[in-house]
Amino acid sequence: MRDSLRTQLTVTLLALTILPLLLSGLVAAQQTFQAQEQQVLALEGARAQQVTTAVESFLNGVEGQLHLALEVKGLVGQSTGEQQELLSELLAYQDAFADLALLNRDGRELVHVSRLRTYRSQDLGSRAGAPEYRVPSRTGQVYYSPVRFDQVLGEPIITISLPVLDPASGELRGVLVGDARLKRIWDVLAGMALGEGESVYIVSEEGRLIAHRNPSVVLRGTRFEVPARDGIYPGLDSPQVVLAFETIQFGEQSLRVVAERSTTEAFRLARNTLLITAVAVLGGIVLAAGAGLAAVRRIVRPIESLSSTVELVAAGDFSRRVPLAVARYRRGSGTREDEIGRLATTFNRMAAQLQDMVAGLETRVAERTRDLERRSNYLQASAEVGRAAASILEVDRLTGQVVNLIRERFDLYYVGLFLVNEGGRGAWAVLRAGTGKAGQALISRGHRIRVGEGMIGWAVSRGQARVSGEAARDVVRLATPELPETRSEAALPLRSRGQVIGALTVQHVMSGAFDPETVAVLQLMADQVAVAIDNARLFAESQAALAAERRAYGEVSAKAWQRLSAAREQWGYRSSEEGLAPATGQWPREMQQALG
């Protein structure tokens, strides 16, 4: 039961103990992972910075060798043969160069030496349109070309060119060009001591890999897009890595030195810490849950016993009582009652009072229900009687059907209907309809009651209902031998248009069967019957008057036609082309009959 007090207390106590533990564990785990991420980023950043320093040192060394050839060894002031020898010597002792060339002020090659081939004078050409000549000749700055891969050597090459200036005038006298081999950087990466899942590589500005511990990765033409900032991203060697990078800027070119470590290795310590934290939190949860459940049990068991008793009482078993022992607990050698015990005592008193009250209430409700059902039946029966009375316009048929309907619907012993008959010796209430064999017998012997005598005569003379709860004790009532089982009776006047035209007697085999409300319903029904009888009488009288008028009108019309026919000789005309002419000859018998 989700809404029980035990559940609510258990959930509350567990929430108050477990949630802080879980929250603290999650916060600790998050902080551990964040700290581990920052540590790994710092470490990888240091790796990238180490390689960056090595690469910058290499490029600065290459550029320094070119400056040394120009400034110290006096390359410009020597003859072509001496220049050829000097560059060849530099190429031989510095394996960082693949090619060396000296250009004049117009960009034409004066000397060109290479590791792969021998250049003769007829092989020398012009580089006036090449960027390695144009940039230093115009800006006076050192030029670095984009990294490219030599098709023969199969390794990355970068071209470095320096302007050759006159020491005295500062005018351009030529350009010294050298193709530097970046394979030396591979050796730097290969010599680094890297951890498990760690990798360092260099990416060109165009996104191509130019250096890696595994040369085959470079030779495959692998490309990698370096993110905009350090963080956790899909890596080159692992699906998910912690990545940091440094940018090497030389001239207008740049390289990205990237150091990465797989998240599996990067967060190994954090996962171990999280596992230890989870075990500690789980242990705390188990201890807190055990203590909480024990406390909840001590609190809830008495309340559950009280609740079960309350439910039984609510279900109708008012004899149930709460055991007072459920609210007691021992302290030392004695006992005392707490708030739940006082609640149980109060509830028991309330249950006893409620039991007494419900017992009396059930009796009253049953009585009222019976009364309501009876009154509802009476009202329904009254409506049926009214509808039946309103649909019949013959007095004898109306009275006979009404008394039987009233007796059936109201479950009465006997019902009789009297109509007032004015005679020479006073007014009498004559029985016109009665139910059962008793009613037939009373009608057969011409049963009537003088107005003013008995309950019927009393009701007619006063226009009021008279009720006898004990028929045998009513001094006004006239007993009838045909109705020996009558114990209570009510006489109801039939009132219509301000006059009393009769009375209705209703009799029951039980004493006190007619209470004031029942009598009111019966009186309303009697008034409806009286109006219906009065209407039936008026209808019968109007029909008789109409028939008499019709007969009188027919006699007058016949005599008038006879006088008219005796006074005139011709009563017929014939129509022809010549006009109208009196009819002659013998009339048909039908016409003679019509004229009388």
Per DSSP, the three-state class of 518 is helix
Q: Is residue 380 part of a domain?
A: yes
* Among 185, 208, 242, residue at a domain's last position: 185
How far is 7 from 383, CA to CA, in rounded Å?
59
User: Do residues 451 and 461 make contact, with C-beta atoms less than 8 angstroms apart?
Assistant: yes
Residue 541 confidence (pLDDT): 77
The CATH number of the domain holding residue 418 is: 3.30.450.40
Q: Report the pLDDT averaged over residues 110-132.
A: 88
Please give the tally of structural domains in the chain: 2
Q: Is residue 246 part of a domain?
A: no
Q: Is residue 98 part of a domain?
A: yes
Q: Residue 267: which of 464, 36, 521, 495 has the closest Cα? A: 36
Q: Residue 582: which of 572, 592, 590, 567 has the closest Cα? A: 572
- Cβ-proximal residues to 360 (8 Å cutoff; 6+ apart), any chain: none
What beta strand segments (E) does 169-263 contain? Answer: 172-181, 198-204, 209-212, 231-233, 241-250, 253-262
Residue 108 confidence (pLDDT): 92
* Among 504, 536, 568, residue at a domain's last position: 536
Q: Is residue 292 part of a domain?
A: no
Q: Is residue 52 part of a domain?
A: no
pLDDT (tens digit, 9 = 90+) per residue, 406-418?
898 888 999 999 9
pLDDT (tens digit, 9 = 90+) per residue, 136-158?
999 889 999 999 888 777 889 99
Domain that holds residue 495: 375-536
pLDDT (tens digit, 9 = 90+) per residue, 294-353?
777 776 777 777 777 877 877 777 777 777 655 454 444 344 456 777 777 787 788 788
* Among 185, 219, 249, residue at a domain's last position: 185
Question: Which string of b and e fits 156-186 if b means at least 16 CB within 10 Å?
Answer: bbbbbbbbbbeeeeeebbbbbbbbbbbbbbb
Question: Which of residues 360 and 84 earns the better pLDDT score?
Answer: 84
How far is 522 from 466, CA to CA, in rounded Å?
12
Residue 458 confidence (pLDDT): 94
Fill in the amino acid letter for 560: A
Q: Residue 435: which of 462, 475, 407 has the closest Cα? A: 407
The CATH number of the domain holding residue 133 is: 3.30.450.20
Q: Is residue 291 part of a domain?
A: no
Task: Give whole-number Cα distances, 390 to 149, 385, 504, 515, in Å.
Answer: 120, 9, 17, 27
Question: Which of residues 103 and 579 earns the better pLDDT score?
Answer: 103
Task: Check pLDDT > 90 for residue 258.
Answer: yes
Q: Is residue 205 part of a domain?
A: no
Q: Residue 158: which of 234, 252, 38 has the closest Cα? A: 252
DSSP string, 403-450: HHHHHHHHT-SEEEEEEEEEETTEEEEEEEEE-HHHHHHHHHTT-EEE
pTM over 0.85? The answer is no
Q: Is residue 139 part of a domain?
A: yes
